[in-house]
Amino acid sequence: MRLSARSSKARKGTTLIENVMAVLIVSMIIIILINTFGMITKHIRIAHHRVVALNQAQSKIEQLKNQGYYGINWAAISGAGQAQNVIIDSYNLTTAADDLLGIMTTRAVSIVSGALTVGRKIIVTVTWTTGGSAANEVLETLIYQPD
């Protein structure tokens, strides 16, 4: 009986191996959470860039639509189109050195019915490179020639 009483007293508490295993499990969970937050931040940044690019393309389309069919310089945006630099993201508002830049290309394609041009399809493409990979957003609209 005396031996069993000592063994039960000696087993109170945790062993070194149990403590090390608990620290390892908690450490692995923390590492997984940190990596998950990093990926979430990256995807939020990518989504932000896409929204900004789409907003710029939509703004360009609205600008052209407001000029009316006969007010648009079709020669300037036909063929390869007209390109301009755009800012996708301004990380620091005080310096332009860290801005994420892109190129917005606007071009028009004629819509032909028989021998007549009845309208134009305007295609606005915003392209940029982030994280070593290229990304782009494309918006299209139709503008018909007034009767």
- Give the tens place of pLDDT for each residue, 56-86: 999 999 999 999 999 999 999 988 899 999 9
Tokens of 92: 């620091």
- Give the tens place of pLDDT for each residue, 101-122: 899 999 999 988 888 888 999 9
Question: What confidence score (pLDDT) does residue 11 get?
Answer: 66
Question: What confidence score (pLDDT) does residue 96 get?
Answer: 63
Are 69 and 146 within 8 A, CB to CB? yes
For the chain, which residues make up each domain, given as ranges? 2-144
Tokens of 36: 């998950």
Which one is predicted more confidently, 6 or 57?
Answer: 57
Q: How many CB atoms lie within 10 A of CB 123?
A: 18
Question: What confidence score (pLDDT) does residue 19 get?
Answer: 94
Q: How many CB atoms lie within 10 A of CB 110?
A: 13
